[in-house]
Chains A and B, each alone.
Chain A
């Protein structure tokens, strides 16, 4: 269903003063694949993102991206290799407009000596417009990002992640604070991405997960618990007992 192996998380353990937020966790992701990661609060989903993106150093294990070991690289070096992550809390530059936010993310050459110029190249300009269109912020483009509503900020940040052109996109609870309609739009957005990029989505909203129609990995207490389609996972008694309960 998808291309060659892109990401391999290989037995990583993240230890916080004796508490193992991730415990020899492994997973792989193919090029062009979308994967949903669910699991109880505290299962280690956000920590997984942190480990991939270089925010926390695993005590054991490796993260391989296109076969290259990422362990020990700086955040921006990892971003340069084509991984970008959206945080659980929206991370945007509040002081500049939505468009400028996206434009910054869209810059291909991010070295300081390339910055002594004004504006951005036409082809990047076009991609900025395309991204804004795609996340539905075209008419809010000139608003200061800090003044956007919570949900709009989330979209803007998704837009920024897209604009970086990253091959692997990590979305940690992209629908947090969104209503059903926005959620559907977000799902649509992510499905569109599927052709060109690999995506890892973390969320608790099962209806959203359903709309994504992608394979699901379930985590529990820092470990791998299950993997399968949404339906399979929903029906799994173990998943029901540790996570879903009966209301969902």
Chain B
């Protein structure tokens, strides 16, 4: 295993007046797939947002490949190699599918010039090719989720953050997404942090997990060493 790609040191964050994350310490090694689990409202989304920088950290440090990201604006972090698939997907509604993917290239920063959206994205998600000229906003939830992942991959990230990728997705598309992600992770040597409620799904897919409770990480481990049913307690009441 390679050295830690993502490292969080004493990270805290919150919204006006309320603190949501408390001193999070977390290390994710290169090419790990980390499942971040926890009940509703424990701060999973907030943690991802703080890592990409669309939410400000109130304390602590975020390191990517040893480089301090904490003070950087989100576009700089994206260019440093953080890809983000948010909860709710956030597709650019009036850009076509092709343009959404193009926008994803921005994460290549100055290297964007002359770049094209890599073909493997359409291989991973053939559906996107079919609807490439439709406006992103007109896609259904499942189509949008595929597009959001494709867009993040277009930026050639080192680290991919996925927030509930199966939420509202029909079962056979969930399968497809899983296949695509596995494939991408392998081919592109991606490191992935995935927030998920659907434990069966992540357990098939992730090699490590971290469980959150009340804004803190309370348990970490390898998925191979604990059963999904053992950690289910962190997800259900």
Flag if B143 contacts A247 (CB, 8 Å): no
In angstroms, how far is the closest chain B Cβ from the Cβ of A57? 17
A178 and B197 in contact (CB under 8 A), knowing A41-B140, A42-B139, A149-B40?
yes
**What sequence of 0s and 1s flags, for each residue 109-130 of chain B, a beta carbon within 8 Å of any chain A beta carbon?**
0000000000000000000000
Give the docked Cα–Cα distance between A135 and B205 (Å).
Answer: 33
Q: Which of A207-248 contact B (CB under 8 A)?
A: 243-248
Flag if B197 contacts A177 (CB, 8 Å): yes
A245 and B235 in contact (CB under 8 A), knowing A149-B41, A177-B197?
no
Please give, as numbers and ranges, the residues of chain B lying within 8 Å of A246 by CB-CB distance: 172, 175
Give the docked Cα–Cα distance between A152 and B42 (Å).
Answer: 12
Flag if B40 contacts A150 (CB, 8 Å): yes
In angstroms, how far is the closest chain B Cβ from the Cβ of A153? 9
The bracket for how many chain A residues form the interface is 20 to 34
A43 and B168 in contact (CB under 8 A), knowing A152-B40, A179-B39, A179-B236?
no
Flag if A40 contacts B142 (CB, 8 Å): yes
**What sequence of 0s and 1s flags, for each residue 60-80 of chain B, a beta carbon within 8 Å of any chain A beta carbon?**
000000000000000000000
Flag if B167 contacts A177 (CB, 8 Å): yes
Please give, as numbers and ranges, the residues of chain B lying within 8 Å of A151 by CB-CB distance: 39-41
Flag if A182 contacts B143 (CB, 8 Å): no
Flag if B41 contacts A243 (CB, 8 Å): no
Q: Which of A34-54 contact B (CB under 8 A)?
A: 39-43, 46
Flag if A247 contacts B87 (CB, 8 Å): no
A177 and B164 in contact (CB under 8 A), knowing A40-B173, A243-B172?
yes
Give the docked Cα–Cα distance between A244 and B134 (Å).
Answer: 25
Does any Cβ of A come within 8 Å of B1's Cβ?
no
Give the docked Cα–Cα distance between A181 and B15 (Å).
Answer: 27
Give the docked Cα–Cα distance between A149 and B20 (Å).
Answer: 11
A43 and B169 in contact (CB under 8 A), knowing A177-B87, A180-B232?
no
Please give, as numbers and ranges, the residues of chain B lying within 8 Å of A157 by CB-CB distance: none
Flag if B171 contacts A248 (CB, 8 Å): yes
Q: Which of A171-192 contact B (CB under 8 A)?
A: 173, 176-182
Add 20 more A-B contacts to A42-B142, A179-B237 (CB < 8 A).
A40-B172, A41-B145, A147-B15, A150-B40, A151-B41, A173-B168, A176-B167, A177-B87, A178-B40, A181-B235, A182-B237, A204-B168, A243-B170, A243-B171, A243-B172, A245-B172, A245-B174, A245-B175, A247-B172, A248-B172
Closest 3 pairs (CB-CB, A-B): A149-B41, A41-B142, A245-B172
